[in-house]
Structure 1
Amino acid sequence: MADATVRPAVAGDAPEIARIQHDTWRTAYAELLPEQVLADLDLAEAEQSWREVVTSGSARVHVAHEGEWTVGFCVAGAAPETETAEADGTQPADAASTGLIALLLVEPRWGRRGHGGRLLAAAAADLREAGLYKGISWVPEADRASLGFYRAIGWQTDGTVRTLDAGGRPLREIRVTGGLDLHLKQ
């Protein structure tokens, strides 16, 4: 494998982040999202949105590279209360110490090469530095690859589910949670 690295994203990464999201959703989520939702993905709009996310500082975005190629990205930050609530709507005692992995995508053709783990380790380091020790993420229930990835690092489902409207089709997501003491094995 060529050199694999992870670094914080800069505004100039927005086109590649948008492309990765577009290509990955069209490939990996083709059976989960209606064709019209996928057809309506606008790269120019996505690029502008990602540029704003990267430069706003409200969340930290990391990008993964293999050689000269950008192959994935991860978005993480402090978890809003709406994301940490228990199924009954109450806030857990550790809500203020919880980080959200809002999105972690690696292009399928670059999968199983450690990029997801490197991205998550970098995000976890940032979250720990911010004083957070617990992480959560939402994963489509039918996304077995992502659920397997989180299980492999020791995260588990916590029984909380939500259903999103994906272009008129319900998309059920389950929340996974675990510690942020994640480090790459050398």
Structure 2
Amino acid sequence: MPSIRPPRPDDAEAMAWVHNTGWRETYSHILPERFYDDAALERRRQMWRRILAEPGERRLAVADSAGQVVGLAMAGPATADDPDRGTPARELELNVLYVRPGHHGSGAGQALLDAVLGTASAQLWVAEDNARARAFYARNGFHPDGARNDDEEFDGAEVRLVR
């Protein structure tokens, strides 16, 4: 199993790549290419550089296998910065959790989730039709609370899971 550690500033490039690849592999059937193309990768590079420079209240972790970032997770205080999503249901929100496909089933996803959430009550948003992710979160005590976000850009909906 990969080791879990806090990210370093020089991990921004690898984190952006894992994040972008995760979007491509998970959402290419429901989102246009602009969400995971080269321009999206560059936006994610900039985003991770900024976050790693000033993490604030965010909880961050990466999965490292032989010196290579193979997964990442980020959680922070739950906010309702998108009015369509409604009031936060929990104190913490899982914002990002991606593991490279070659490391699915390795325990990296579980270790990353544990690293950024522990046993805290939390919420997250997941594509309604992402059966793999929903099963993973259900094993970790998450269940739908009825909140739903339909987005015109997204061929489907996101549902909020809470624990």
The answer to whether the superposition gives a TM-score over 0.5 is yes
TM-score by length of 1: 0.77
The aligned residue for residue 54 of structure 1 is 52
Shift in alpha-carbon separation, 1:5–1:159, aligned structure 2, 3 A: same
The aligned residue for residue 122 of structure 2 is 135
The aligned residue for residue 41 of structure 2 is 43
Computed over aligned residues only, the root mean square deviation of the Cα atoms, in angstroms, reads 2.4
Moved segments of 4+, more than 3 Å: 89-92
- Correspondence 1:43-82 to 2 at 5 A: 43-58=41-56, 59-82=58-81
CA distance in 1 between counterparts of 2:62 and 2:78 reads: 20
Task: State the percentage of identical aligned residues.
Answer: 27
Contact kept? 1:54, 1:60, Cα under 8 Å = no
Shift in alpha-carbon separation, 1:99–1:90, aligned structure 2, 3 A: closer
Residue type matched to 2:105 in 1?
A: R
Contact kept? 1:28, 1:108, Cα under 8 Å = no
CA distance in 2 between counterparts of 1:111 and 1:90 reads: 32
Matched, 1:172 2:157: yes
Residue type matched to 2:59 in 1?
A: R
Shift in alpha-carbon separation, 1:119–1:170, aligned structure 2, 3 A: same
CA distance in 1 between counterparts of 2:87 and 2:68 reads: 43
Structure 2 stretches lacking a partner, 5+ long: none
CA distance in 1 between counterparts of 2:42 and 2:35 reads: 16
Total equivalences in the alignment: 162
Structure 1 residue 119, shift from structure 2 partner: 0.2
CA distance in 2 between counterparts of 1:115 and 1:32 reads: 26
CA distance in 1 between counterparts of 2:88 and 2:46 reads: 34
Residue type matched to 1:56 in 2?
A: E
CA distance in 1 between counterparts of 2:38 and 2:92 reads: 30
SS at match of 2:19: helix
The aligned residue for residue 112 of structure 1 is 105
CA distance in 2 between counterparts of 1:37 and 1:121 reads: 28
SS at match of 1:122: helix
Structure 1 stretches lacking a partner, 5+ long: 179-186
SS at match of 2:4: strand
CA distance in 1 between counterparts of 2:29 and 2:65 reads: 28
The aligned residue for residue 146 of structure 2 is 159
Shift in alpha-carbon separation, 1:79–1:91, aligned structure 2, 3 A: closer
TM-score by length of 2: 0.86
- Greater Rg by CA: 1
